[in-house]
Amino acid sequence: MELSSILKPEAVRVLSSASSKKRLFQEIGDVAAGTLGLDAQAIVENLLERESLGPTGVGHGVALPHARLTEIEAVAGVFVLLEKPIDFGSVDRQPVDLAFSLFAPEEAGVEHLKALALVSRTLREPTVCAKLRANPDPVKLYAILTEAQSMQAA
């Protein structure tokens, strides 16, 4: 599995307006609706429901909110760089400025887990996160994310 297979270039955004976790989820829902053809409100509700089980802020300013959706056929993602970090209830209590949301079909057991592991590995790399934070251009962000995986595989 490759990041380029689950993340479209147009699903990468830089946000200046997200002031809370819920607002971030609304922005992610809007991006997913526009790029993946999904229902924005269903996405927000599913992300909030998953988040109620435990925060998806994994530390070091990174969050991996994810949800299973009935109307999606394959695992897909949305990546967001926040200009102003927000409180996310992360395990290390650090605010989040990098969020990679994954959406999977209801029945996508192992594929969903593989995608989550791939994204987690990529965003666990400090040099990748530093590059992402230093390049507030969606085209460059997409290139960094997809090239990072190629570098890890080499």
Task: List pLDDT tens digits, range 33-86.
Answer: 999 888 899 999 999 999 988 888 899 999 999 998 888 888 999 999 999 999
Q: What pLDDT is recorded for position 151?
A: 55
Separation of alpha carbons 130 and 141, rounded Å:
11
End-to-end CA distance of the chain: 15
Q: Which domain holds residue 50?
A: 3-153
Number of domains in the chain: 1
Q: What pLDDT is recorded for position 128?
A: 95
Q: Which residues contact 153 (CB under 8 A, 6 or more apart)?
A: none
Residue 44, Cα to own-chain centre: how many angstroms? 13
Q: What pLDDT is recorded for position 150?
A: 56
Q: How many helices (H) and strands (E) does the chain have?
A: 6, 6
Tell me which amino acid residue 28 is. I
Separation of alpha carbons 3 and 27, rounded Å:
21
Question: 110-153, pLDDT tens digit by residue?
Answer: 887 888 889 999 999 999 999 999 999 999 999 999 986 555 54
pTM score? 0.92
For residue 108, pLDDT beyond 80: no
Burial of 31 (0-12, 13-18, 19+ CB in 10 A): buried
66 is catalytic: yes
Element (H, E) at 112: helix 109-123
Q: What pLDDT is recorded for position 2?
A: 86
Q: Which residue has the tokens 């993602």?
A: 77
Contact 64, 102 (CB under 8 A): yes
Query: Which CATH number goes with the domain that contains 137?
Result: 3.40.930.10
Question: 12, 31, 46, 66: which is the annotated catalytic residue?
Answer: 66
